[in-house]
Amino acid sequence: DSSLWRSAHKDRINMAFKGEDHLDSLPLPVQRMHLIQVDSVQRWMEDLKLMTDCECMCILQSKPISIEKDEQNELILSSQYSTCDNLQLLLKRAWIISTELTRIAQKLEKNRWQRVHSMTVRVNCHVRSMINEYNTFTRNSSEEMHEFEKLLIDKCSEFTAFTERCVQTEDEQILKSMKSCINKTLTTVAQYFGQLIELVLTQEAQNLLRQIELSDSVYSTESAISSLFSLTQEGAHLCRIIAKEGGVVALFKICRQDCFRCLYPQTLRTLASICCVEEGMHQLEKV
């Protein structure tokens, strides 16, 4: 009878999707193994979603929005502003990581282990992407920077492993004992991250100042001063780095050369931004 066949077929489909009757008929160890596999796959899918969300968002943010359909023009535009755009993307990624680390500390205080783990995975992804992106547009990274990159990646992996263990247990004593380890690891990650960003920004400031001092081209000097001014707009800390690396002296040299007369307004504006911090004023007094 076709109605009986349809009914039996429907029951088999429901059993395949729900799995309840099928699990009940299996031995207990097999049931447990099935549940462990489902949990691990589900956790992996959740972590994968977090990582792909981060990557897609960062890739979209780095794409130029242009109404031009000519691919050649688009390539010229992207290469012309690549250094400045890459630095801006790096600073944006650094700000995201810094914010996430602060939020992890807040969630950790409230014992929100699932949120702590998901945010840790997200930070791990952002850190790796930031390092890969930076290494694609710079070729003169120091040995010290590579060491900090490795330390940070290793510590982030350790951090993620710690938080994953916390998600897998409900024992309050174990969670309490691991909380201090996680706090310590979080502090170390934040320290390594801060030191790495400091090295990156110092290196970029040095490169721009070297370009200003060595270049005889008005276009190249203008590009370097423009990038330097963009960095000064990112906050007082970057102004301190530029002043410390000799930015005031380098810009004053530009103002004393007649061949760069057309760059005086832009140069003086950049100087004014650097001299808004104490280090910049001290350098100004020495000139």
Tokens of 105: 């500390």
CA dihedral (45, 48, 52, 54) positive or negative: positive
CA dist., res. 27 & res. 37, Å (int): 16
Q: What is the pLDDT of residue 43?
A: 64
Interacting residues of 116 by C-beta distance below 8 A, sequence separation 6+: 104, 107, 108, 163, 166, 182
CA distances 134 to 38, 77, 120, 131, Å, are 37, 20, 21, 5
Give all strands (DSSP E) within 76-161, no chain letters. none
**pLDDT tens digit sequence for 9-37:** 455 445 444 444 444 444 544 444 444 44
Instruction: Evaluate if residue 245 carries a pLDDT over 80.
Output: yes
CA dist., res. 60 & res. 56, Å (int): 6
CA dist., res. 130 & res. 145, Å (int): 13
What confidence category does residue 52 fall into, taking pLDDT thresholds of 50, 70 and 90? low
80-214: CATH number? 1.20.120.330
- Residue of 166, 187, 65, 59 lying closest to 118 (CA atoms): 166
Extents of the domains making up the chain? 80-214, 216-286
CA dist., res. 151 & res. 185, Å (int): 12
- Note the pTM of the prediction, 2 decimals: 0.67
- 163-198 as b/e, with b when 16 or more CB fall inside 10 Å? bebbeeeeeeeeeeebbeebeebbebbbebbeebbe
**pLDDT tens digit sequence for 161-200:** 988 888 888 778 888 888 888 899 999 999 999 999 999 8
**pLDDT tens digit sequence for 266-287:** 999 999 999 989 998 888 888 7
DSSP letter for each residue of 2-61: HHHHHHHHHHHHHHHHH-HHHHHTS-HHHHHHHHHHHHHHHHHHHHHHHHHHHHHHHHHH
Rounded to 5 degrees, φ, ψ at 101 are -65, -40
**pLDDT tens digit sequence for 102-152:** 999 999 888 888 899 999 999 999 999 889 888 887 767 788 888 889 999
How far does the chain reach from its first CA to its final CA, in angstroms? 100
